[in-house]
Each structure stands twice: as structure tokens, then as C-alpha cells.
Amino acid sequence: QVQLVESGGGSVQAGGSLRLSCAVSGRTFSSYVMGWFRQAPGKEREFVAHIIWTGGNTYYADSVKGRFTIFRDNVRNTVYLRMNSLKPEDTAVYFCAATRYYSGRYKSPDEYNYWGQGTQVTVSS
């Protein structure tokens, strides 16, 4: 059973930075494709960022491109989301997700088999 545990959320002022972490249990972390999603109150879960097995290819939502960076450490079984220049509209619960059976639909929550419990990020103006 794969378990994902996020950490690093919190409250910051606009323009600030946070780094989210997602620790993944199991010995085969490097075989999982990883993603970050977020969900604001009253809104659907939306794609934020994605990284393939080796970390060589990354993809971002247009709304976070240039401000957020996803990266992974396959030794520590952890994926990170570095968030800079945070805006109030970034306020949401952030979830990490994993899948071993990647079909290329990295923006779709349905692509991912495993999810963390989420961590709250609040950005005040």
C-alpha cells in the first residue's frame, strides 16, 4: 500500500514563499509519476504541477508557471513543490498524487491512483 503524506503548508503574505513536501512510502518511489493539485473552497480540484520518474520533464499550470517549481528526490522518496511570489488566489488545500500507470493525461486527477490528505496554504493580501 502506497501512502503519501504532505507537509509544509501554512499562512503567508502575498509575495511570500513556501515549500511543500510529499513523502511517499514504499521502495519503488522512482517508478511513480507524481503530481500536485489544489482545491479551493467551492471549486474543483485543479492541476498545479507534474514530474516524471527521473525528474527530467516537468509541467505546470499556466497560473503557476514561473513561480512554482516541482522537483523530486528519489533517494528520500519525496516530491517537493517550491512556491514563490505567492498570490491570494493560490489559497487552497494542496494535494500530492502518484501513479505508476501513466498514460500522459497528467492534468487529470483521474490519472493518479494515490493521494495524500492535503495541506492548507493560505495567502493573505
Q: How far apart are CA 82 and CA 47, in angstroms?
A: 15
User: What pLDDT score was predicted for residue 45?
Assistant: 97
Residues 6-16: what's their mean pLDDT? 98
Residue 121 pLDDT grade (very low, low, confident, very high; cuts 50, 70, 90): very high
User: What pLDDT score was predicted for residue 21?
Assistant: 98
Cell numbers placing 9 = 503548508
> How does the average pLDDT of the chain come out, rounded?
94
| Nearest residue to 68 via CA among 57, 59, 77 | 59
Residue 43 pLDDT grade (very low, low, confident, very high; cuts 50, 70, 90): very high
Flag whether pLDDT at 20 surpasses 90.
yes
